[in-house]
Structure 1
Amino acid sequence: MKIKYKFTLIITSILIVLGLSLNISVRKILKDNMESSITSSMKEVMKSTRESIKYTLSQRNYLYKDKALKEEANYLLDYISQNFDSTLQICDISGNVLASNLSFKPIEISQNLSEVKEGKTIVNIKYQNNELIGVLSYPIIINESYIGIINLNKDYTPLYEEYYKATNILTLIEIILIVFIFLLSTRLTNKIAKPITNLTIAAKSLGEGNYDVLLNTEGTDEISILSREFLNMKNKIKEQILDIENEKEKVEKLALSRKIFFDTVTHELKTPLTSIIGYSEMILENVVDDEDFKKRAVSRIYSESQRLNTLVLEIIKISKGLSSIKEEYIEFNIKELLEQVIADMSIKAEKYNLNIIYNLEDSILKIKANKIKEVFINLIDNAIKYSINTNDNNIKINGYIEDNLYKVAIINEANPIPEEIYNHVFEPFIKINSDEDNYSSGLGLYLCSEIIKDHNGSITLSNGNKVEATVSLPF
């Protein structure tokens, strides 16, 4: 809960409790005073009526006063009713009614009868239907003898209405005061809480990475000082975060560059090694008896070894910061390059009972021969890898001219590539988690794509039971 709501809730609760307590206390005081006044008034009525009864009965020459009361009951009823603005009931000592003009008999009269017979005076205050009635019961005593009972009702509703008006006015005044104090306290709370709220929002925004927060720091109070210190802290954090991010970016770039460089060099070394290993195995296993083939094989082993040696020397220079691997564009017969790659890769294909069938058109392209050779070695190697244990043992390679481009399509049967892999297949470090990819870095197709882009060409890969990799190179 926000602090301003807490303050408002606390102040409101205190005001309500104080208002209710004050209202209840004042109402009780007013009610006690009213009832005390009524009780005093009823006692005065008792004294006056008792004297009137005693005087009236003494003026009559009755031997027995109880008989006199019975005879004079109606007279006394009229007299007391008129002079004391009340209604009453005159009874003998046994409670039998001698005279009465009561419109109703309050239950208190019957309940008080036994106590009145014992000589007690009882005053009851009765609230009913927005009316206030005073009920007075007392014994008539003449010469220390009990001769009867008076039950008198007097209407104090006007006094009750005055009390009701006073309490309503008091309640209204209290409500007005509570509302006024509430509005005043709400305004003061908002004034106090607003800077705290702004500071809280700024801290939350800062936690979410937004450092462009502004605060009003004018003033000399504690909140203003805290806001200034917060802004100073924010600026220092922002500077430190920027420094950390810059350093992190440098480290990440360096780490990525090293990994890509390492994997690129691995692929560079893989190209001559593929030829050397393939031809060496064929010579060792004496697969071909043709002397001309053996001479070509030895020649290729020698040339690829020379190239491998050159690459190693270049890598040593690069590690010392003395050089970098560069290759110039030269005009090259793409058919001859592809035939050379196919001849090298056929050795590996035959080990898995696979055939490479090709149909190539002649064309001269300006290319980086070793880089393009690396692309096709990688693509054909993938085709061999994913064609193992399939129904079709043929890998087809077609080279043809179309739309002023030289296109090379490598087609093989394979299991479909998972959609999440296929959508990112030309990104770095993407590979299928399969047995064939245990030794893969996930950079092969990415490097192929980068090399073809460097030649202003394009490379695509179709997905399905037939996988087709198509390389397009401009003239």
Structure 2
Amino acid sequence: MLRTLRAKFVIGFFLIFCLSFLVLNVTLKEYIRSSNRDMITSDLVELKNNSNVYVLQAFLINHFTNNDLYFGQMAEEMVGDLHRATSSDVSAYTVDGILLNSTDETMFAGRSNEDLQLALGGKTAYTITYEGSTGSVLYSYPVVIDGVKVGILRFAKDFSSLYEQTERILNILFYLALAIFLTAFLFSYMLSRHITIPLVKMTDASTEVIRGNLNIRLKFRRKDEIGRLAENFNDMIGRIDSQIAMIARDRDRLKALNEQEKRFFDNVTHELKTPLTSILGYAEIIRENGESDRVFFDKGMTHIVDESRRLHGMVLNLLEVSHRNAVMDEAALVDTGTLLRDVCDSMEIRAKRYKKRIVLELENGLVVFGQADRLRQLFINLLDNAIKYSSQMAEILVIGDRTTKAETIRFTFRNPSETLSPEQIASVFEPFHSGDRTFKEEGSVGLGLSIVKSIVDDHGGMIRLESNEGCTTVCVELPAAGKKGGINDA
């Protein structure tokens, strides 16, 4: 479309300049011809006045009476004198139009007699004949002496020099106007290109954007409106590109979350379904057989109790994840050293079950402002995770101390284990992450570290996990009591 616009510019300018040139040329020619007619008329009026003075003087000198007879007698002498005085060919006629004398009859032969006829009727008239750069005039008027028409004088005057000069002026003006209009047209053409070429590039760029290419940019070194338009176009494409990238990231994130939710749902369904099926099977057999088989009865009841407890723990974990923004217990000063020692003592039995050992190193005065129950759950989950995923016969080191500036309290849980990949470390705190462990305790659905992360965040702390050279370390830092930070209100 813009290529058509450029063509419209060129054709429009061409027509305007052609029309202007034509109008100017015709106007100049008409003006010069009108000026020439005015000059000729003025010259002929002066010619008539001089001729009348001469004829009147000739009549007075010769004491002729006022009749055409004497006009005819002096015609030859009068025509010769007027010829010499005016540098024009002269003819004298009677009042009836009969030629009396002429300096050169060929100058009057074969030409229009309209001026002569008008002079016979008592009027002064002239006819102009011109071809190219040559021009001549036939001028006739009645000679009147004392109110009586005595004859006709007719002049043939050459004005070729005037028309030659006029032709030269017209030629100069023609070529000058042509040069001016060609220059103006060339300038207009360059101006139209200066305007339309950027528009063509913008059209091509917008077409590329429609096709999905957002890497295209316009580069115009211009400070005018088109330059600002190009800058706005580039800014718009940049924003569209960033918005699309953001949408793509959100789409990928939502896709990943959907996959994690589906995986979580499948895991929970499986983990809930397995113990429920086992409980239901044992319960139905016990209801049918009663206590007739005491060994099976004791075994079944033990299994039902264990599976029920496991289900209870799973449900509590699920509730913790889904209601982590619910109203918590009131925050207070908590001696985390004492709390961590109690947790380690209670978890020692579980560690021995897996033939592992817990080593505790604590400083005194590890007091934070927080919720004791949730902090206990934090330590339990971290110790439980270290026990489950540490190597066989492992020694789990638990350290509680203050940082160098004593503004935070640090808890470190270190145990030998398989080295985790950076991808696993990046997603280990996600709420639906179940990990990719060689060993996974039955009933685990990957909620422990997610719960730990939420407790640390709510207490204004930070947590990080490192895994290298066959050792996994989890470090938790909580603001010390009286320092900026602490528990976040739900």
Query: Whose Rg is larger?
Result: 2
Q: TM-score, normalised by structure 1?
A: 0.47
Please report the TM-score for the alignment, with normalisation by the length of structure 2: 0.45
